[in-house]
Homo-oligomer: A and B are copies of this chain.
Amino acid sequence: MDAFSGMSSQEICEALDRERTAHAGFQALGLSLNMARGKPAAAQLDLSSPLLTMLQAREDCFSEDGTDCRNYGVIDGIPEAKRMMAHLLDDVPENVFVFGNASLSIMHDAIARCLHFGCLGSDPWSTLPQVRFLCPVPGYDRHFAILEHFGIEMLPVPMTDEGPDMDVVEQAVSSDATVKGIWCVPKYSNPTGVTYSNETVRRLAQMRCAADDFRIFWDNAYGVHHLYGPGKQDALLDIGVACREAGAPDRYLKFASTSKITFPGAGVAAMATSPANRDEAKRLCGAQMIGHDKLNQLRHARFLPDAQTIAAHMAAHADIMRPKFQLVEHILSEELGGLGIATWTDPRGGYFVSFDGLPGTAKRTVELAREAGVILTSAGATWPYGEDPRDANIRIAPTMPTLDELERALAVFCCCVRIAALEVMAERA
Which A residues form the contact surface with B (CB < 8 A)? Answer: 37, 39-40, 42, 45-46, 48-49, 52-53, 55-58, 60-61, 68-74, 100-102, 104-105, 108-109, 112, 115-116, 126, 142, 145-146, 148-150, 259, 263-266, 284, 286-296
Contact = CB atoms under 8 A, between A and B. Distances in A.
Contacts of A295: 52, 263, 265-266
Contact of A68 (B45, B56, B61): B45
A116 B150 contact: yes
B57 A45 contact: no
Contact of A102 (B48, B57, B289, B296): B289
So how many copies of this chain end up in the complex? 2
Contacts of A105: 288-289
A73 to B, nearest CB: 7
Looking at A58, A71, A142, the one whose CB has the most chain B CB atoms below 10 A away is A71
Which 7 A-B residue pairings sit nearest by Cβ, starting from the closest?
A149-B287, A266-B295, A70-B263, A108-B288, A72-B264, A45-B70, A266-B293
23 contacts: A42-B68, A45-B58, A49-B58, A52-B57, A68-B265, A70-B266, A71-B263, A71-B265, A73-B265, A74-B265, A102-B290, A102-B292, A105-B289, A108-B288, A115-B116, A116-B150, A145-B287, A146-B287, A148-B287, A149-B284, A150-B287, A265-B291, A296-B296
Contacts of A264: 70-72, 290
Contacts of A286: 145
Nearest to A46: B58
Q: Which of A71, A73, A101, A265 has the most CB of B within 10 A?
A: A265
Nearest to A147: B287
A298 to B, nearest CB: 9
Given A72-B39, A100-B100, A265 B294 contact: yes
Nearest to A115: B116
Contacts of A72: 37, 39, 259, 264-265
A293 B290 contact: no
A289 B291 CA distance: 18
Contact of A104 (B45, B46, B112, B290): B290
Contacts of A294: 265-266
| Most B Cβ at <10 Å: residue of A42, A60, A74, A290 | A290
Contacts of A146: 287-288
A296 B146 CA distance: 26
